[in-house]
Structure 1
């Protein structure tokens, strides 16, 4: 589980990769957490946190751990050190740290490096598919006392996040299931809703966007507890990661049994929801209601 509450900055995907590789090297070398900790003059808990990407990975620490684990070949050492330097660089979202809580920094990092993003959203249009006006209304509803400048920064962050879907190199597949409630609840008024549905009609023409609607008529389904996202990466060391959100933060899960539960729920919902091929017809019909 990725702990989004710890210090040291939100873990980037590269830091997670480096942590996994260090764990593999330690285990292959038969070195315990305690032995690795003694090599760095830190506690065994610090080694665990390094491997889980919960703390920054200082280059001298990484180099000493590599030698402790028997890595001596210069090219291999340099490749690890280069990865450590890159992993410690802040992501583009660091520019929004004034309006970006630590737990959501983790989310944006995972989102930015994903190959596949699957989601269930019972309340709002997913952030990657929102218009500026809709995003502003959503943020204002969630932060009724925030100054206007903070709302504007939040909207700007959300709009910049959306560039992941249109980047030139390997944009991820976004496959989302939304409740019918999402498209019927008026966020920002009829004008905003019309614009939002028009936008969904446009983005669902992209080959890397698959949107399904869970109609009221489908009855109960396996994920009626709340919204969540599942991230899959093009990197062998990284398992799928699930983000389950709450009002004050999020829990990130990467254990196989936990992730499998969410994946099964998504698969079952996708079978119950309106097929992707019919989504545009549903959107067009709902558009007329606004």
Structure 2
């Protein structure tokens, strides 16, 4: 999956699923990219981008491709087209497009539809577990010249993202490893940090949150290069997707070999980090030091 710092609208997970299905239908029919492109009178790159969910699924294109791939049943075509229309609808996060970079729109889309979210965070508390005060301090540090209204909008987006952990139907499992540095870096002052650690202690009581701490004493580990998230979905068409962040954007990976490397790093880190059963005790001890 390509770097998404630039490009078209952020894909919804449903659009990704439909792109995978179009690819499967094309390959099953023995149709090449060039042949599919001729049927639409577009370039083969456009067909590739549709399959990779890098562009919206235009309904006339979808209908023509389905027929080109031998899908002739009206009900099957209509069902696919209805899903394509739904996939083209903006997600709830579209309301925050004024403060939401394109690359991070992809992240929120994946986060919203995940079944499992695994993460390593060496700098900050994961966004899904941040308090409002901590989130405000983090955003202000990252955008020192932003107007206060922009910071407020960014905090509101972060708080609304957290609803995914509390939804009634199939909330995702969040399993995060955070570096000890995260808990010792003074962000927003002592009061903000105490409130944040208290929130982390509460989070460990949730059945869908697993939190581990990577202590200084553990020494080097496989992911010292920076933060990343791995998203897993309940839909078999979708592979795991990894987001590796940088200062100005992110790169998304969905190729098996790439994702396997991140998954192995997470497993090794979980073995090195403080065991889950001791997380609360470590947090409580650090809380007394603040």
Match of residue 267 from structure 2? 267
Q: Displacement of 1:6 after TM fit?
A: 4.5
For each residue in 1:41-65, what CA deviation from the matched residue of structure 2 results, as whole angstroms up to 9, or x when unmatched? 0000110011000111111110110
Q: Does 1:64 align with 2:85?
A: no
Contact kept, 8 Å, 2:6 with 2:103, in 1: the verdict is no
Pairwise CA RMSD: 0.7
Question: Cα distance 1:2–1:15, how it changes in 2: closer, same or farther (>3 A)?
Answer: farther
Q: Does 1:217 align with 2:217?
A: yes
Contact kept, 8 Å, 1:120 with 1:229, in 2: the verdict is yes
1:54-203 counterparts in 2 under 5 A? 54-203=54-203
How many residues of Structure 1 are paired with residues of Structure 2 in the alignment? 290
Match of residue 27 from structure 1? 27
For each residue in 1:67-112, what CA deviation from the matched residue of structure 2 results, as whole angstroms up to 9, or x when unmatched? 0000011221111011100100000000000000000000000000
Counterpart CA distance in 2 for 1:3 and 1:41 is 27
Counterpart CA distance in 2 for 1:17 and 1:235 is 8
- 1:65 partner SS: helix
Q: Displacement of 1:217 after TM fit?
A: 0.3
For each residue in 1:254-280, what CA deviation from the matched residue of structure 2 results, as whole angstroms up to 9, or x when unmatched? 000000000000000000000111100
Counterpart CA distance in 1 for 2:153 and 2:280 is 31
1:40-59 counterparts in 2 under 5 A? 40-59=40-59
Counterpart CA distance in 1 for 2:266 and 2:289 is 28
Q: Displacement of 1:4 after TM fit?
A: 1.6
Mind listing any 5+ residue stretches in structure 2 that lack a counterpart? none
1:248-287 counterparts in 2 under 5 A? 248-287=248-287
Mind listing any 5+ residue stretches in structure 1 that lack a counterpart? none
